[in-house]
Amino acid sequence: MDLRQHNTQERIVAGLIDCLEAKPFRELENKDIYNKACITHRTFFRYYSDKNELLNDLEKSLINGLQSALIKDRNSLIGLKHEPDPDDILTLADPAFRHTLLFCDKYKRSLRVLVSKK
């Protein structure tokens, strides 16, 4: 995927998130999303068949990203050869949750809106 396609998809997703902050998903129309994203209806339908496909794609993307972050964080703990004591737990906490927390921070707006509005 080239940079323009990636930017267009990001704008469409941002348009969906903006719309969800204003009203429930069931009240949204496709045109609300593509108008908010400042794209034409033809461009929207080049990427998604409707708002449901867009929401499903966003949810899959967020779930896959979170799973990937959790796997990276879990791998940092797999190599432990002993049961961690309380001091070890504090030392291990930062690397053990770094990827997950960075992911959640990067996508906090999307996650917050999807959890609260759907």
Return the structure tokens found at 98. 């770094």
Which domain, by its residues, includes 80? 3-117
pLDDT category of residue 1 using cuts at 50, 70 and 90: low
pLDDT category of residue 87 using cuts at 50, 70 and 90: confident
Question: How large is the average pLDDT for residues 82-102?
Answer: 78
| Of 36-40, 59-63, 107-111, the least confident | 107-111
Write down the mean pLDDT value for the chain.
87
- Helix, strand, or coil (residue 31): helix
Q: Max alpha carbon distance in the chain (Å)?
A: 59
Per the structure, how many domains does the chain have?
1
Distance CA 23, CA 35 (A): 15
Q: Which CATH number does the domain housing residue 104 bear?
A: 1.10.357.10
User: Shortest CA distance to 11 belongs to which of 36, 41, 46, 40?
Assistant: 36
Length of the chain: 118
Do 13 and 109 touch, CB atoms closer than 8 A? no
pLDDT digits (tens, 9 = 90+) for 5-41: 779 999 999 999 999 999 999 999 999 999 999 999 9
Q: Identify the pLDDT of residue 117.
A: 57
The number of angstroms, rounded, from the C-alpha of 22 to the middle of its chain's C-alpha atoms is 19
- Global pTM? 0.79
